[in-house]
């Protein structure tokens, strides 16, 4: 049985390695008693090796992910971090195309596409973020389809089983308006994505694709996106920085996924 995915996106937090290790350890402790969830922590680059050398080496149940990567594996690209470097460090996942990167760092569908391909090439599982802005709610289908079409250009059907698609309505993310996105709304976005995959690939790809929800998820509502939204997991920002709240999310998702 495929486990329910819970992905923590720490963003540019916390500010010290001690805090990072504590947060990781706390999530790890909860995950050890869970059977039905796969938990991934996407930490800032600078903490990844510490987290790997810490609890992970003692058989941690938490997988590691990064929040971005470059589209080349190596070379003269000052300041960049490549997918193969992340893989060699023990990362399994990498977030690509988060709306904050699109907004503050001019990430485009074209650069997202190059990053997705480079992540696959290095053996990482990309977590591809898509989502409409507040003023795009009326044209959500067009917006999601364009992001998916351009982001997945040249990505073969065989790769889709290693891809996570995170539906993150920009207006629901806590750093933006943080408006409530109902599980029914998330369900309709889920259907748009599935239909796209059916049209561009085939039924098997659409049925197997792991589509998760992100946007102000907390311990109270996380399970609803699985039960009512029929999503395969959640991407958690703010709440993943609170050890108690993140623990609640893991426990509740584990209970409803059994």
66 beta partners: 94
98 noted as active-site residue: yes
Min dist CB 77 to ligand PGA, Å, is 25
Which of 61, 97, 215, 223: binder of ligand PGA (CB under 6 A)? 215
134 noted as active-site residue: no
Which of 107, 132, 168, 176 is an active site residue? 168
Q: Which DSSP letter does residue 74 get?
A: S
For residue 238, the surrounding DSSP H or E stretch is: none
Total number of residues shown for the chain: 258
Which of 4, 5, 6, 9: binder of ligand PGA (CB under 6 A)? 9
Examine residue 174 and tell whether it contacts ligand PGA (CB under 6 A): yes
CA dist., res. 238 & res. 232, Å (int): 20
Contacts of 18 (CB under 8 A, 6+ apart): none
Tokens (6 digits) for 219: 């311990």
Min dist CB 95 to ligand PGA, Å, is 8
**Dihedral sign for Cα atoms in the order 6, 118, 140, 202:** negative
Residues 146-165 that bind ligand PGA (CB under 6 A): none
Q: Which is nearer to ligand PGA, 143 or 239 (CB)?
A: 239
Residues that bind ligand PGA (CB under 6 A): 9, 168, 173-174, 214-217, 235-239
User: Which positions are catalytic?
Assistant: 98, 168
């Amino acid at each position: 049985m495929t486990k329910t995915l819970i992905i923590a996106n720490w963003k540019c937090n916390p500010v010290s390695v001690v805090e990072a290790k504590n947060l990781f350890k706390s999530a790890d402790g909860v995950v050890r008693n869970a059977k039905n969830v796969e938990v991934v922590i996407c930490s800032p680059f600078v903490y990844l090796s510490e987290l790997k050398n810490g609890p992970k080496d003692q058989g941690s149940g938490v997988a590691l992910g990064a929040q971005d990567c470059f589209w080349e594996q190596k070379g003269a690209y000052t300041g960049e971090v490549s997918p193969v470097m992340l893989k060699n460090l023990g990362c399994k996942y990498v977030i690509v195309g988060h709306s904050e990167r699109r907004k503050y760092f001019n990430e485009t569908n074209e650069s997202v596409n190059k990053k997705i391909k480079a992540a696959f090439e290095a053996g990482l599982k990309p977590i591809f973020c898509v989502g409409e802005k507040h003023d795009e709610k009326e044209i959500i289908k067009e917006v999601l389809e364009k992001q998916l079409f351009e982001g997945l250009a040249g990505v073969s059907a065989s790769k889709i089983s290693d891809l996570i698609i995170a539906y993150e309505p920009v207006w629901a993310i806590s750093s933006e308006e943080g408006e409530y996105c109902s599980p029914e709304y998330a369900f309709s976005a889920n259907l748009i994505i599935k239909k796209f995959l059916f049209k561009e690939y085939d039924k098997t790809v659409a049925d197997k694709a792991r589509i998760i929800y992100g946007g102000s998820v907390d311990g109270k509502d996380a399970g609803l996106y699985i039960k009512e939204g029929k999503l395969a997991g959640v991407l958690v920002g703010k709440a993943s920085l609170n050890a108690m709240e993140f623990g609640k999310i893991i426990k509740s998702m584990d209970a409803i996924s059994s």
